[in-house]
Structures are given as C-alpha cells and as structure tokens.
C-alpha cells in the first residue's frame, strides 16, 4: 500500500517535471519571438561592438519593426564613421514558400533595409543588394522559431 503511494508520487513528480520543462521550452520560444518576428540574439553577429548585423521580418512581410529600425540606425551611424566600408545587404526568406516568390521577397526585404540606411545618410553607391530567397537558411529546423531566424536581411562588409 505504502509502496503504491510512493510509486504514485514518483509518477506525479515525473509528470510535473515534464510539464515544467515543456513550459520552459515554450517560454524560451516566446521570449525569442514577438508575433512571429525573431527577437533573440542566437544567430546575430556584430559589425562592430553594439552594431548587430541583421534584422528580422514577419512571415511574407518586408516591413521593418521598431527593433529593426533601431538596428539599422546603429548600422548607419557605424557606416558614417567608416566611410570607406561598403556593404552588401543579403535578403532571405524562410522555407515555407515557393522558391521564385521567395527570391523576390528576399530582394524586397534587403531593399527595405537599404532604403532605411539611405534615409540615414548612407549613399546608395555604398550599398548593394542580393537575394538568396530560401537558399541559405541559418537554422535548418522545421519549426516557427527556426523560420523566424531565417526571415532576415544581413548586412555584410563588402570590402
């Protein structure tokens, strides 16, 4: 009888710990996404200290979020301080779309980043744009978090 009770408690404890860990995963995912835009830093690299190299987009969108605009202003400031550096903006899409449309979408995303840099005084001569569509994901996962990391425009030094 007693052993039975202990057994039940053990089961309960295991079940609770499962629930908790499931919650933890869920929370981790939530904290890295707002809507379906990636807000984490896992894949982000830095052009200089405090200057993130990439911005993220919602599904099928090329509109810049508040956080993206903040990142791009930092990039613009860094580019103004380093007038000899040119950049390539690489636009990407996630894997949940047809290849050709995604090529166009990647181009549109990179261009919305380019337009924003230009409004902050960076000459279009210093910026080139390339779309990779869905061809170069950073995260090979097949889940919403991986897709959110892949919907991006990355600013890369060209020289």
Contact footprint for other proteins (CB under 8 A)? 60, 62, 95-101, 103-105, 107-108, 110-112, 115, 129-132, 135-142, 146
- Minimum distance, C-beta of residue 37 to other proteins, in the bound complex (Å): 18
Report the distance separating Cα 54 and Cα 105, nearest Å.
16
55, 58, 34, 28: which is closest to 44 by C-alpha? 55
Q: 53 or 107: whose CB is closer to other proteins?
A: 107
Q: Least CB distance from residue 49 to other proteins, whole Å? A: 26
Nearer to other proteins, 47 or 93 (CB): 93
| Cβ 104 to other proteins shortest distance, Å | 4
């Amino acid at each position: 009888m007693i052993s039975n009770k202990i057994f039940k408690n053990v089961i309960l404890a295991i079940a609770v710990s499962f629930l908790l860990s499931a919650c933890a995963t869920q929370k981790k995912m939530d904290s890295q996404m707002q809507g379906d835009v990636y807000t984490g830093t896992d894949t982000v690299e830095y052009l200089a200290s405090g200057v993130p190299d990439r911005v993220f987009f919602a599904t099928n969108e090329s509109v810049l979020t508040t956080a993206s605009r903040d990142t791009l202003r930092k990039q613009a400031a860094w580019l103004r301080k380093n007038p000899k550096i040119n950049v390539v903006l690489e636009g990407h899409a996630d894997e949940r779309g047809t290849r050709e449309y995604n090529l166009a979408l990647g181009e549109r995303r990179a261009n919305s980043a380019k337009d924003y840099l230009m409004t902050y005084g960076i000459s279009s001569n210093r910026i080139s744009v390339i779309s990779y569509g869905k061809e170069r994901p950073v995260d090979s996962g097949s889940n919403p978090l991986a897709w959110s990391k892949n919907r991006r425009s990355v600013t890369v030094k060209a020289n």
